[in-house]
Structure 1
Amino acid sequence: MDSEIALDGTIQEFVWRNPHVAILIDVEDEQGEPVTWVIEHSNVSTLARLGYHRNVLRPGQKVTAYVNPGTEDNTIGLCQRIVLEDGTVIFVRGANID
């Protein structure tokens, strides 16, 4: 998971659960067909300490997700950060917890 790609898409579902939060994003593939990516992030406790909550992402919301794609399944990845439509950057992997 060394490479990073950007996915422009729409939130399908935001799953706030342990062991890892999952973000399902609908994007278009190279042929213009819809594809759902499953992007994992940290656990609920860590993200809550960073100030996030279960309603930070909503179905239908447009985002750009920067992910490290998986090696075996091209629609699974590890979240590095999410950029909202207004330019706000959230879910930055490796952010400090004060």
Structure 2
Amino acid sequence: MIPGRRIHWACAAIIILAMAGAAAAHHSFAVYDHSRTVTLKGKVTKWQWTNPHAYLDIDVRDASGAVKRYVLEGTSINMLQRVGWRSNMIKVGDEVKVEFAPLLTGEPAGLLLEVTFANGEKRELPVPAINTFKRTPEKD
């Protein structure tokens, strides 16, 4: 092989390896608490059907009447569509119950695992590493 080509291929390999690390970090679930899940009821304020991830924002009212907004990250549109999700399944104003893995920081956000609609229908999201999350039994 010509010396100049070796350098070219070495640089290409380094760039590919660097990009693979960035992609793995982007798709990491390390920011979420894998030891428990949270279940809340709230009103949908935003349903963002976009790539690379769908987002669901809900307002949750606590016992004192104060409202807190939760921002929940879903999986990709492609993965959602493969298991039957459609963009019109959730609308602003809908009352939903959600189960999610909370952020480790304690902020009102997390990884959306399941949605229960007002009619009682439950839909799990196709989270690739869902088996790594310890599902906390819901308390009534």
Q: Is the structural similarity TM-score above 0.5?
A: yes
* Bigger Rg, structure 1 or 2: 2
Amino acid corresponding to residue 41 of structure 2 in structure 1:
D
Match among 76, 91, 95 for residue 58 of structure 1: 91
How many matched pairs? 95
Would you tell me which structure has more helix in proportion to its own residues? 2
| 8 Å CA contact 2:102, 2:111 repeated in 1 | yes
Residue 94 of structure 1 and its aligned partner are, at CA, apart by: 4.5
Matched, 1:16 2:49: yes
Please state if 1:81 is matched with 2:125. no
Q: Which residue of 2 aligns with 1:45?
A: 78
Q: TM-score, normalised by structure 1?
A: 0.87
Is it true that 1:34 corresponds to 2:67 in the alignment? yes
Q: CA RMSD in A?
A: 1.6
Structure 2: runs of 5 or more not aligned:
1-32, 129-140
Bigger relative contact order, structure 1 or 2, given CA contacts below 8 A and separation 6+? Answer: 1
Measure, in 2, the Cα distance between the counterparts of 1:68 and 1:54.
22
Sequence identity, in percent?
A: 24
Shift of 1:27: 0.3
Higher strand proportion = 1
Deviating 4+ runs (over 3 angstroms): 91-95
Q: Which amino acid aligns with 1:78?
A: L
Q: Hey, what's the Cα distance between the residues in 2 that align with 1:91 and 1:58?
A: 17
